[in-house]
Amino acid sequence: MALHWALEALCLLPLLNPQNPACTNVTAMPITSATLDWLSRKWFSTAYAFRNPEYKKWAEEVHTNSFHLDADPRENNVKIEEQMTIGDHCIQNSSFFTVQRENGTLTKVVNGKAFVGSLLLLRDPHSFVLGFHLEDEHNHNLAFYTHKPEASPEQLQDFREATECVGLHTSEILYVDWKKVSRL
């Protein structure tokens, strides 16, 4: 009988520290072959929430960023064909992400420096977030990507919730204005 009561008490422990359901996906999960297959398409940068000054400066300079990911589910590399608008210049770049399947991260090396992003999947299957330095409260960074240049209200709400879950403020979000760029 005591074992029964102990098990009942253990079942109630999660209720003592309830987690916002929106925060359940704000941790990197292992990347599977199905995840890589799902990632293989064109994505658009929609918003950023960067606390790290280096990342924030980049986000303020880059007006738009879209890219096509081409992943072979059997490999641990993802080819990225990227187009960025900085000022009135369009820049195209081709590089690779290295996939660390077990810890759910993608690594891109730029000028000898490794940028490691945790892949965070949101409720909407047409969006995802890359989280950088999530363990460092002074340098939290989130980059939000969607299938289309403009996110739906539901997708934006998912991103705002993810932003709050990692300790960033919604006032720190920089939104990409794709309409403005199309007029350049």
pTM of the model: 0.82
- CA atoms of 163 and 180, how far apart (whole Å): 24
Q: Which CATH number characterizes residue 75's domain?
A: 2.40.128.20
- CA atoms of 45 and 143, how far apart (whole Å): 7
Q: Does the residue 156 lie in any domain?
A: yes
- CA atoms of 142 and 152, how far apart (whole Å): 18
Location of structure tokens 């939104």: 175
Number of folded domains in the chain?
1
pLDDT at 6 over 50: no
pLDDT digits 0-9 by tens, 7-66: 444 444 343 444 556 576 677 789 999 999 999 999 999 999 999 888 888 888 887 889
Phi, psi of 143 (to 5 degrees): -120, 130
Q: Does the residue 24 lie in any domain?
A: no
Domain encompassing residue 154: 43-182
pLDDT digits 0-9 by tens, 116-150: 999 999 999 999 999 999 888 888 899 999 999 99
Q: Does the residue 29 lie in any domain?
A: no
Q: Does the residue 144 lie in any domain?
A: yes
Q: Which helix (H) or strand (E) holds 136?
A: none
